[in-house]
Amino acid sequence: MVDPIGIKAGAVVDRGAVPMGASGAVAAVQPVARPEKIVESMAAEFSGAMASGAPVDGARVVELRAAIRAGRFTVSPQAIAERMLAMKQDWSGR
């Protein structure tokens, strides 16, 4: 069996101060480069670029609006349901 770390019951321990010699000169602390700032600024730059413009195909929107106004756009409930199920399965990892 392994002895526990620490003081054993009944042991006498001298907790007096330990004399130490003089210490040498301590060098000044030098600043350290912070790579986290680079990552943070890159993330901020990327999120700013993404927020500045929506990921929308403007030409496709114009085309769909024209098709709806002209009555050429048909809605397929089956296609919508299939795509919704595919998205759900993709999100849940199945």
3-state secondary structure 34-47: CHHHHHHHHHHHHH
Tokens 């024209």 belong to residue: 66
pLDDT at 39: 64
Residue type, 33: A
Rounded Cα gap, residues 92 and 83, in angstroms: 14
Q: Label residue 85 by pLDDT band (50, 70, 90).
A: very high
Q: Label residue 50 by pLDDT band (50, 70, 90).
A: confident
User: In terms of pTM, does the model score above 0.75?
Assistant: no
Tokens 């500045």 belong to residue: 52
